[in-house]
Structure 1
């Protein structure tokens, strides 16, 4: 088993390091930018450009899947160079630049898809180095709290982004230029904060050659790490993208289409409130237990889609549960994986799991888009329900043999017990 070594330098017991707060501010600003686009695209693509559900599913899958391979690249580069911050700056910067490109591509499906891919490529490059910066600056018994705090600040941006988009659309209609211009401003300010205020934790240089790409993938030889990675990928196959969840909630509940850009606000608000408490809970009861519990809540969201005409009450309940799902899963997964990976391969180890999750969610998005295009609504939803039941059961079975609650303090303080 890979257990990270932890040194006390610049780490105050019981407190979350300043690096986490700084990265939280970066993510807050970046998420305002990203969620403005996320809230705008469904209305723009489906109702203005009149794309089919199948076309939208392909673009949405591309938006998710473009992160996959570059998560591995970003993780490998940051581990190899021990320059996690520099790789993160490149990723955040690339996403910021794409916000200036979106208005130029107009209604071209190819141009929109390529720009979305570049935006998500930036996210792929930055995610593992950013999470490595958080985990390397935080003691193992505070990982859940640290990632929870980061996700809380991140989600504050996710809450503001759709609101800004809604206000712009209310005043000027579904016009792409102003939305992307404002989005770009937030993204570039986030890059400036990252460069100016984030401190990089310097891990001791590992003995022998620098970590290789093969070494990162080789982490899968460890049984506990492999089971977590496979379980996460299995759940990714059964997880609908946010865009489809919001579209289905609007369709099932019968609320006005004009409110579609506001639905992410409900999820983000709950995530904002619950991320830190769920992170702390994961430190106590086990991060994997909380992670699986979040997917059970997502299953209830899918079941609620079968209740027709539930109106604002049904939409509200679905969004609360959707937000709790993210509070139980987003940062909690990184808290689970971090103790299983040595410091010299921290970003790569996180990236392998995140890549598997991104790839399987891409398959899910494309597949569900095609299903929703050619099957009746109820059949599509029941398919998602059955897939998630199988996914939760399979992920639990894979890790139950280890008694794998995955508390943040697993093995904390020990040295890495194996090299890769």
Structure 2
């Protein structure tokens, strides 16, 4: 029996478990979008530090802008989707801005133009992420939230896996031709927007959120479980080094060379792809909070491996740990958040937590870039490892109170 994906409340054929058709289609949209985005992400560190000759501190500023650009847009996107009860419409706007950002990258020749293009892309990501994740949560049975997010993230990550391959192949055909990478990226993003518009319908009318944004946030903060997740996610992100900086650290320590640099993104995505669904199932069975905390223990080990390692084997282990970290946190965090709040505030709640995470990572990028310049990458990684371990131990007792995860 074939089920139309245009009915978001009806399960489709099994894909790594029983998930709704909307989840699968949104996963394919994310797959195309991530091919587009990761094509740019894979070459951006080299483009900035080698192509434009900017310093690691300048890259830290750019990476910070990359993370912070989502902050206001996440809250606005989540709240607007809840207020209008039209998450698809808001998601379409966000994906459209992501496509437009690739157009702006074509003439970029300095950090100002790059920051503008990346800012537009991050605003688009901020607008779409909360509404998209709310669609996933709204169409998934409560006991399969982790699996549904795992399926979506697996498809999303397949795009992240293919993106660096495409970028690497294009640069092999035309070394140094970053404009060609940006143009192809724009075309792929456009395909994702078309699929979303034509193959996903708005869900059945839900309760519209008529309260203003301040009242909405006040209502969310009144929930102890939501407060715990928000504070913990924000604190942990303050000591989370971006994957781009971790890759540059591997390059600095001669654990990898320039020729394989874009493939580091590919390897991380491959690990994430292989583990997203199994880890999602584990989170449904044993609780999302323990899995989320375990992911941060993995990234601490990655810091230590890079700081202490001197060989390619250490680079492989670090990349595996990074992939496991993403599998244990990226989909698990919105699944945990969605389970703690009423349906009419899901987009706002997920967007608020993701905003706290984005702001924390923005601050982390600035801090790590400054520490790199002043004391070097290895001492900086050591400081971040110790700090993150302290935060994990501090938030674990209160965060584990959310294991029942009832809205």
Please indicate the TM-score interval, normalised by the length of the shorter structure: over 0.9
Partner of 1:175: 177
For residue 405 of structure 1, give the secondary structure of its aligned residue in structure 2. helix
Query: 1:75 and 2:78 equivalent?
Result: yes
Give deviations 1:103-123, integer Å, cap 9, x for gaps.
112x22111111111111100
Query: 1:29 and 2:32 equivalent?
Result: yes
**Deviation, structure 1 residue 405:** 2.8
Partner of 1:276: 277
Partner of 2:203: 201
CA separation in 2, counterparts of 1:126 and 1:9?
Answer: 20
Partner of 1:304: 305
Query: 1:339 and 2:342 equivalent?
Result: no
Distance 1:308 1:83, change over 3 A: same
Partner of 2:100: 97
Bigger RCO (CA 8 Å, 6+ sep): 1
**Deviation, structure 1 residue 254:** 2.6
For residue 104 of structure 1, give the secondary structure of its aligned residue in structure 2. coil
Alignment of 1:373-412 (within 5 A): 373-400=373-400, 402=401, 404-405=402-403, 410-411=405-406
For residue 387 of structure 1, give the secondary structure of its aligned residue in structure 2. helix
Give deviations 1:3-38, integer Å, cap 9, x for gaps.
xxxxx9535897200000000000000000000010
**Deviation, structure 1 residue 202:** 2.2
Partner of 1:160: 162
Query: 1:226 and 2:191 equivalent?
Result: no
Checking the alignment, whether the CA contact within 8 Å between 2:52 and 2:110 is kept in structure 1 is no
Give deviations 1:136-164, integer Å, cap 9, x for gaps.
11111010000000000000000000111
Partner of 1:241: 242
For residue 10 of structure 2, give the secondary structure of its aligned residue in structure 1. coil
**Structure 1: unaligned runs, 5 residues or longer:** 1-7
Checking the alignment, whether the CA contact within 8 Å between 1:237 and 1:363 is kept in structure 2 is yes
CA separation in 2, counterparts of 1:113 and 1:397?
Answer: 39
Partner of 1:189: 191
How many pairs align? 396
Partner of 1:371: 371
Give deviations 1:262-309, integer Å, cap 9, x for gaps.
100111000001001000110000001100000101111001012242
Checking the alignment, whether the CA contact within 8 Å between 2:287 and 2:403 is kept in structure 1 is yes
CA separation in 1, counterparts of 2:326 and 2:110?
Answer: 32
Find the partner of 1:125 among 119, 124, 127.
127
Partner of 2:4: none
**Deviation, structure 1 residue 203:** 4.3
**Deviation, structure 1 residue 242:** 1.5
Find the partner of 1:17 among 16, 20, 23.
20
For residue 371 of structure 1, give the secondary structure of its aligned residue in structure 2. helix
For residue 10 of structure 1, give the secondary structure of its aligned residue in structure 2. coil
Checking the alignment, whether the CA contact within 8 Å between 1:82 and 1:202 is kept in structure 2 is no
Query: 1:53 and 2:56 equivalent?
Result: yes
**Deviation, structure 1 residue 258:** 2.0
**Deviation, structure 1 residue 395:** 2.1
Query: 1:294 and 2:295 equivalent?
Result: yes
TM score, norm. by length of structure 2: 0.94
Checking the alignment, whether the CA contact within 8 Å between 2:85 and 2:206 is kept in structure 1 is no
TM score, norm. by length of structure 1: 0.91
Partner of 2:5: none
Give deviations 1:10-68, integer Å, cap 9, x for gaps.
35897200000000000000000000010010011011111111110000010011011
**Deviation, structure 1 residue 97:** 0.9
CA separation in 2, counterparts of 1:294 and 1:374?
Answer: 29
Find the partner of 1:44 among 21, 43, 47.
47
Give deviations 1:158-191, integer Å, cap 9, x for gaps.
0000111111112211222100000001100000
Partner of 2:3: none
Distance 1:165 1:9, change over 3 A: closer
CA separation in 1, counterparts of 2:47 and 2:103?
Answer: 17
| More moved, 291-300 vs 210-219 | 210-219
Partner of 1:349: 349
Partner of 1:4: none
For residue 59 of structure 2, give the secondary structure of its aligned residue in structure 1. helix
Checking the alignment, whether the CA contact within 8 Å between 2:101 and 2:120 is kept in structure 1 is yes
